[in-house]
Amino acid sequence: MIPAQNPSSGEGAPAHFRLLSALSYCAPLLVNGVALPFFPVWLALHDFNDHEIGMILAVPMVVRVLVAPVVAMYADRMKERADVLLFSGGLSLLTAIALYWTTTFWPVLLVYTLQGATFSFYVPVVESIVISGVRRWGLDYGSMRVWGSVAFIVSTLVGGQLVGRWGGEMVLPVMTFGFIMTIVMALYCPRIGPTRRRGTPVDLPAATGSSLRQPHLLALLIGVAIQQSSHAVLQAFATLYWHELGFSGTQIALLWSAGVAAEVTVFFLSRRLNRRFDAWTLIRFGAAVSVCRWILFPMHWGFAGFFLLQCLHSFTYAFVHTGVQRRIVASVQETQESSAQGAYFFYNGMCMGLMTIAAGYIYAALGLASYYVMAFVALAGLGLIIVAYYLQPQRSLSGGQTREAA
């Protein structure tokens, strides 16, 4: 899915580049593996209500969308991009420590938002370094990136054990440990010099090219962003819901890990899927499964049932994401790839942030019925995706040549 400039040889890569890149992915996802599923538990422990939880989780999402591309563009101009990681990890660690002394709404909102800003560019900068390695030396992206997902799963499982045994107060110590590891890996992350071309997925320059003005591409990116934002209630309140059902911390961790494992499986099988299905099929099928997933979610299925529902994340996220990446490659010139990725990142982040804010109020008012609202949101996204398909200037149905199979 990510092209290499020299796919035939890995000669010339710095010593231990693959290992250090894999570990650089692991460090930040150790934090995410605890923060995503269990930080809402810490908030509930300190008596925050549903709309306050939604606001605290959402505002950093919006800030990340604005901060990450700017810092990543600055990193592109530095002699060594990896130096930015030390700044990110150090400031993020300070915000994690500050949370020990903040237990009321406005201070927590402020500190967690600062954490979202300072931590937002860690993974994108690591990603840019790894992609440079892929382009320069023909290295395999998936073999390095997958270890971040493995770290997420391990972190979630360990975090679930600790929260199950000692309660929500364990969330901050585990997050703090994760941030310490981000500082360690910032020191050891590969130093490969400045970028040779602008091609990182976090760069967000103005989309001025004619390809990015294509109505079908714009409709597709916005439709997918709306569909992806339907995950907001799940990310904010699923852990609390499962806790109310009596699931242990370990069981909750397994449920979150199931989604990530299913997602990783799709990425491993992406080449085979790409040979059998065109991009539009993957996107539309994943969006349709989202509608079904949220309709089924409020029902009490027991642990096994929710485990299977979480495995649907392979469709509702991984299928859609893989399909969108293929459509971007097929729709824009290589010189506009960065702008297209930036637009995709921006629309997704803004929609998810705004929907998470709304989710707090919706969940407070409707409870589990809020998942039916998310089903409607996913349906709206699917509708716009279908519109995007028919907006293509040349479709095979009309006899024209098209690259929709890409």
Q: What pLDDT is attached to residue 197? A: 46
Q: What pLDDT is attached to residue 193? A: 77
Instruction: For residue 347, give every residue at least 6 positions away whose Cβ sits within 8 Å of its Cβ, in sequence order, or none.
Output: 221, 222, 224, 225
Q: What pLDDT is attached to residue 66? A: 86
Q: What pLDDT is attached to residue 398? A: 41
- Mind listing the domains of the chain with CATH numbers? 1-203 (1.20.1250.20), 209-406 (1.20.1250.20)
Q: What pLDDT is attached to residue 196? A: 55
What mean pLDDT comes out for the span 255-268? 89
Is 310:259 a contact under the CB 8 Å cutoff?
yes
* CA separation for the pair 134, 195 (Å, rounded): 12
What mean pLDDT comes out for the span 1-27? 71
Whether 3 has a pLDDT exceeding 60, the answer reads no
Name the more confident of 37 and 200: 37
The four Cα atoms 115, 119, 120, 124 give a dihedral, to 10 degrees, of 180
Whether 107 has a pLDDT exceeding 50, the answer reads yes
Q: What pLDDT is attached to residue 144? A: 84
What amino acid occupies position 84? V
Name the more confident of 234 and 341: 234
pTM greater than 0.85 (yes/no): no
Structure tokens at 1: 């899915």
Q: What pLDDT is attached to residue 11? A: 53
Name the more confident of 25 and 198: 25
Which of 377, 337, 340 has the alpha carbon at shortest distance from 356? Answer: 377
Whether 183 has a pLDDT exceeding 70, the answer reads yes
* CA separation for the pair 287, 223 (Å, rounded): 10
Instruction: For residue 279, give every residue at least 6 positions away whose Cβ sits within 8 Å of its Cβ, in sequence order, or none.
Output: 322, 323, 324, 326, 327, 330, 404, 405, 406
Give the range among 74-88, 140-154, 384-398 with minimum mean pLDDT: 384-398
Is 103:169 a contact under the CB 8 Å cutoff?
no
Whether 6 has a pLDDT exceeding 80, the answer reads no
Give the range among 8-22, 55-69, 97-111, 350-364 with minimum mean pLDDT: 8-22
Name the more confident of 331 and 216: 216
Which of 215, 319, 205, 337 has the alpha carbon at shortest distance from 273? Answer: 319
Whether 404 has a pLDDT exceeding 60, the answer reads no
The fraction of the chain above a pLDDT of 70, given in percent, is 86
Q: What is the pLDDT of residues 353-379, one digit of tens each?
A: 999 999 999 999 999 999 999 999 999
Whether 36 has a pLDDT exceeding 80, the answer reads yes
Structure tokens at 401: 């040549």
Across all residues in the chain, what is the average pLDDT? Answer: 85
Q: What pLDDT is attached to residue 332? A: 74
- pLDDT band with cut points at 50, 70 and 90 for residue 394: low
Q: What is the pLDDT of residues 122-135, one digit of tens each?
A: 888 887 788 778 77
- pLDDT band with cut points at 50, 70 and 90 for residue 306: very high
Distance of CA 332 to the CA centre of its chain: 23
